[in-house]
Amino acid sequence: MPAAAQLPFDALNTALKAAGEPTRLRILALLSEAELTVSDFTEILGQSQPRISRHLRLLAEAGLLQRFREGSWAFFRLAEHGAGELGRTVIERLDAGDPVLARDRERLLSVRQARADAAQAYFAAHAVEWDRIRKLHVSDTAVEEAIAEALAGSPPRTLLDLGTGTGRMLELFGPRIQRGLGLDLSLDMLALARARLDRAGLRHCSVRQGDIYNLMLPAESFDTVLIHQVLHFLDDGARAIQEAARVLEPGGRLLVVDFAPHDLEFLREQHAHRRLGFTSDTVAQWMSAAGLDAVLHTSLPPEPGSEGKIAVSLWLGRDKKQTKPVVREVA
């Protein structure tokens, strides 16, 4: 691991002072678990919004965390470099069993659970309409052509579709693969996906309930993993990508399809979105942190005349580990 960068005296002093306060230390510890908003902190820490905002401002001014705006929400995350490295070292030295930190983590878990439950209620209510909602912005044909192009050259043999929804990706690739598996939290979505696979006679493809953050699958078990229009519902895209990368065979590929940045705030209130799209760098950085080479990014603009206003982006990551050498039998 490279040595942490040194900080000028004043910067180090400011960062130490900022971190050296109980609530701010708790905030840093929470940010090592997830990117969070001011209202997440007020719920978890039980303090008023002005107090939380002041703590966050001091931590940001000291370079310990970064603030980024998305529509009307501001998210906070630990800074990557400079004082951010100091923040990470401080968090590593904290006793994770400390009762205050353990309670904060529990509250974070319940805030996340409440959010995931709201999203699942949305999917239960909209499962039947999902195939129509998906094509509001860019047509299925355009997106599916771009997916085929991104994966061309080395056709998938074993495919894992995370957040499979109604199973469209398995239906699309099913006829050309050896084995396909779709995972989703929503039983309503899974029922539609099963019916779809039955209709298409795809017996080598199956779906089951599973959480994108905890796949319960062995490492290196698929050559291709898809995450198609799922990341914007999640509060920890980096962790989802990390878990997807874990199950990729050496040299395997992860294809993420999601929205480019947009400002359609109503999608949060009415369609359970957490994130208003992703910059090309955001997903590429998550991929590289998960040990993948980000080898492609492309965007499809919304189609003229369609109801949609959002571009759809594709990111392809390739596992860096060497593929196993093929042993040829010599007669």
Compute CA distances 82 → 18, 25, 117, 148, 315, whole Å.
Answer: 14, 17, 37, 41, 28
Residue 315 touches ligand SAM, criterion: CB under 6 A:
no
Residue 186 touches ligand SAM, criterion: CB under 6 A:
yes
Q: How far is the CB of 107 from ligand SAM (least distance, A)?
A: 19
- Alpha-carbon distance of 223 to 254, in angstroms, equals 9
**Closest to 130 (Cα-Cα) out of 164, 171, 159:** 164
Q: What is the DSSP string of 266-327?
A: HHHHHH--SS----HHHHHHHHHHTTEEEEEEEEEPPPTTSS----EEEEEEEE-SPPPPP-
Total of chain residues touching ligand SAM, rule CB under 6 A:
20
Where do the DSSP E strands lie in 193-266? 205-209, 222-228, 248-259
Residue 313 touches ligand SAM, criterion: CB under 6 A:
no
Residue 14 touches ligand SAM, criterion: CB under 6 A:
no
Q: How far is the CB of 150 from ligand SAM (least distance, A)?
A: 15
Residue 185 touches ligand SAM, criterion: CB under 6 A:
yes
Residue type, 321: K
Q: Which of 33, 211, 265, 293 binds ligand SAM (CB under 6 A)?
A: 211
Q: Which of 75, 123, 173, 315 binds ligand SAM (CB under 6 A)?
A: 123
Q: Which of 24, 112, 228, 297 binds ligand SAM (CB under 6 A)?
A: 228
Q: Which is nearer to ligand SAM, 73 or 213 (CB)?
A: 213
Q: Which of 26, 112, 168, 273 binds ligand SAM (CB under 6 A)?
A: 168
- Alpha-carbon distance of 220 to 251, in angstroms, equals 10
Residue nearest to ligand SAM (CB): 165
- The continuous run of DSSP H or E covering 26 comes out as helix 22-31
- Alpha-carbon distance of 158 to 177, in angstroms, equals 6
Q: Which of 150, 189, 205, 294 binds ligand SAM (CB under 6 A)?
A: 189
Q: Which is nearer to ligand SAM, 178 or 209 (CB)?
A: 209
Q: How far is the CB of 226 from ligand SAM (least distance, A)?
A: 7
Where do the DSSP E strands lie in 139-178? 158-162
**Closest to 23 (Cα-Cα) out of 47, 39, 1:** 47
Q: Which is nearer to ligand SAM, 119 or 244 (CB)?
A: 119
Tokens for 143? 């997106």
CA angle 320, 325, 331 (to 5 degrees): 170
Residue 275 touches ligand SAM, criterion: CB under 6 A:
no
Residue 224 touches ligand SAM, criterion: CB under 6 A:
no
Compute CA distances 12 → 4, 17, 82, 135, whole Å.
Answer: 13, 9, 9, 50
Determine the interface stretch with ligand SAM among 41-49, 165-173, 288-296, 321-329 (rule: CB under 6 A): 165-173
Determine the interface stretch with ligand SAM among 4-12, 65-73, 91-99, 205-213 (rule: CB under 6 A): 205-213
SS3 63: coil
Residue 274 touches ligand SAM, criterion: CB under 6 A:
no
Residue 165 touches ligand SAM, criterion: CB under 6 A:
yes
Residue 254 touches ligand SAM, criterion: CB under 6 A:
no
Task: Kindly list the residues in this chain that would bind ligand SAM in the complex (CB under 6 A).
Answer: 119, 123, 134, 163-166, 168, 183-186, 189, 211-213, 228-230, 233
